[in-house]
Amino acid sequence: MHRGKGLKFVGDSRVLAPSSRKPMLPKDYSEYPGKTEAFWPNFLLKEWMIGAVFLVGILCLTVAHPAPLERIADPTDTGYIPLPDWYFLFLYQLLKYSYASGPYTVIGSMVIPGLTFGGLLLAPFLDRGPERRAIRRPLATGFMLLAITSIIFLTWQSVATHDWKKAAEQGKIVAQVTIDKNNPGYQVFKQQGCINCHGENLQGGAGAPTLVGTGLKADQIAQIAQHGKGNMPPGIFKGNAEQLKQLTEFIAGLGKK
């Protein structure tokens, strides 16, 4: 710039004018046939369609087979056998085996699941080949088939070996009655150790049925208390005749309107 000559502006041809900017077009993947595709909308649309099919299927199952209701949870019932949701049944079955239970519970609950799911998380880093066909990726395909087969087998075993009849008895919703714990019959019930199997509120548990609303008469209950029935062995009751009468009349009166 020289005095008296004013200012001169120099333009840079490398800077594109707003009107000459190219539109945002997806990359041309034709040079990689069958190996990759655009994330939007091709891949994402397929994912949404698969997710929608599974969502509709789950909603139909929910309508056709509602979740069953059980009685209110009782922390004093140590004999209750809980059953997890269906997607955790394979882990539930795994913990039944000797190498994954007892002193080896940590192996069954943490080590084996940790290695399995850790391997799935590391799969994209361990198998970085460009091929998308399953037959061209034997290691990844083999491990995935092994995982799916194991999950299906363990889930099936859990369903097949579960005692559904006993579980239905344990979770049965029974009539709620007010237990008079000052009643002499309840005191005998507690002294004789019946509370350990039948529960504090006589709701049942540990393989023992509920004593509320049995429909039995006092003499029938006395017969069971002395001679046993089912899982209850004979000779459990050690009290005298007066205590037996108090106990049986108390139980026979439960649940009556």
Q: What is the CATH number of domain 184-252?
A: 1.10.760.10
pLDDT at residue 6, rounded to an integer = 60
Residue 23 has what pLDDT?
66
184, 246 in Cβ contact below 8 A? yes
The torsion defined by the Cα of 35, 41, 47 and 53, in degrees rounded to 10, comes to -130
What's the DSSP call for residue 214?
A: -
Q: The tokens of 173 are what?
A: 């919703």
**Angle in degrees, CA 158, 162, 166, rounded to 5:** 160
pLDDT in tens, 23-68: 666 666 666 666 667 778 888 899 999 999 999 999 999 899 887 7
Please tell me the predicted confidence (pLDDT) of residue 84.
Answer: 87
Higher-confidence residue: 31 or 162?
162
Going from the C-alpha of 246 to that of each of 2, 49, 193, 249, the distances in angstroms are 122, 67, 15, 5
Token pair of 90 as six digits:
């394979």
Rounded Cα distance, 135 and 104, in Å: 37
Fold of 80-162: Helix Hairpins (1.10.287)
Q: pTM surpassing 0.95?
A: no
DSSP string, 172-190: ---------TTSHHHHHHH
What integer pLDDT is reported at residue 64 of this predicted model?
A: 92
Q: Phi then psi for 229, rounded to 5 degrees? A: -165, 135
Q: Report percent pLDDT > 90 for the chain.
A: 14
Domain segments of the chain as ranges = 36-64, 80-162, 184-252
Average pLDDT, the chain: 80
Q: According to the model, what pLDDT value does residue 157 have?
A: 94
At residue 39, the 3 state secondary structure works out as: helix
